[in-house]
Structure 1
Amino acid sequence: MNDPAYIRTRENIAEFGTTAQSGKLLRNAIGTMLNRAKDPRMSSRMMGILSKVRQLDSNSARGERVVSEGLLTLNGKQLLKGFDFNNRAALQAVFHAPFNLDTLTGVVTIADFVPLDQLQIPEGATHVSFRTAFINLDFVTGEFDTQYSPIVNTVLDMNSTTITLTPAGVPTGAGTQLYLLLIEFFQEVNGVQYPLRNGAFNVLNLIDIV
């Protein structure tokens, strides 16, 4: 591995390693939400996106490029924004309601929401729940702070309601700010709500990144 002919190989291995670390850090920061909505190839899909983000690092030498530098660029943020952690249930395919995100507070508002009109509902579902996460993640130091909103659960009907998802607080730190939306479907039987098909239809989307 010290042969000059393999310098490019060593550079690629080094960058692959740091990119994998960034992906693991991001998954850890999301916490338990990730267990509720992901597909079997989620990690490899994320690795592909983060590799493209890393390539936007124009300040580091080859072999030393990192995701954190790529995310300082607008294009880097755009690559990661909108990532669906469960590609079996993409946000745009399931959720058809406009919503507003306040990036300063992390509050997500879904005004005049009509579940039966504005959701692609899997067979057997009777209820849906919404939850958000507001994360401050420092890809350099590995430190992160994740603030979750309370879960808002509603019956799947034609009634209009406004859903407000307010994180417990604004996360501390000086890293990259990430905003995630989780949508889960349930079936109620005898007053108890059960996850539908082990979360196969659940949505987890990175709705914005600052």
Structure 2
Amino acid sequence: MNAPSSESSGFIEIRRRGLMLVLSSPSGAGKTTISRRLLELEPQLALSVSATTRAKRPGEVAGSDYHFVDLTEFNLMINRGEFLEYAKVFDNYYGTPKAQVAREINAGRDILFDIDWQGTQQLAHNAREDLVSVFVLPPSTRELERRLHSRAQDSADVVARRMAKAADEMSHWAEYDYIIVNHDIDASVESVRAILRAERLRRQRQIGLTDFVKGLREGQ
């Protein structure tokens, strides 16, 4: 037997506006691992696809990994105000196109951003009502350094530079909506999922709520 539809059973579906979920942290605190787990567990969540001026690497897919553009086009996009945020990283530029994010959010889907505090400040300036920001802290400085060494990806000099940068990055913790101390990766992932569940229920994101309540008051 087929389950009754929302219409036939008298239920009215309340549409939801999506949100922009930002995860920031110093390198090694765990945000990349948390991001990957979230994308596996949350079907309504998708990773933001940035535009970049860097060359496409083997195996990367245009439009899926990045939107690859040349420097002239990137500058034109800046001048036309088409980015929610952008930055120069080493010799290349990266930016988040407004149009694609707006399409996803208007369709009720959520976008995940793995960006630093500077990018988060730009998002807050351009789209504060849609932003939910989370800063991930390590349990201790010693543990952060241990994690960086255990990855075996960087030389001792690079680890030292990352540790020096971490102090500045962590000084911006108070600019974020939520703070998670990443003692345990599973617990941290569940904390972010709890944040998502709560933020999805915010009154201003339930865009069909006014008509729904009106119908209730009229006896529907």
- The interval holding the TM-score normalised by the smaller chain is under 0.3
TM-score (norm 2): 0.24
Higher strand share: 1
TM-score (norm 1): 0.25
Q: Greater relative contact order (Cα 8 A, min sep 6): structure 1 or 2?
A: 2
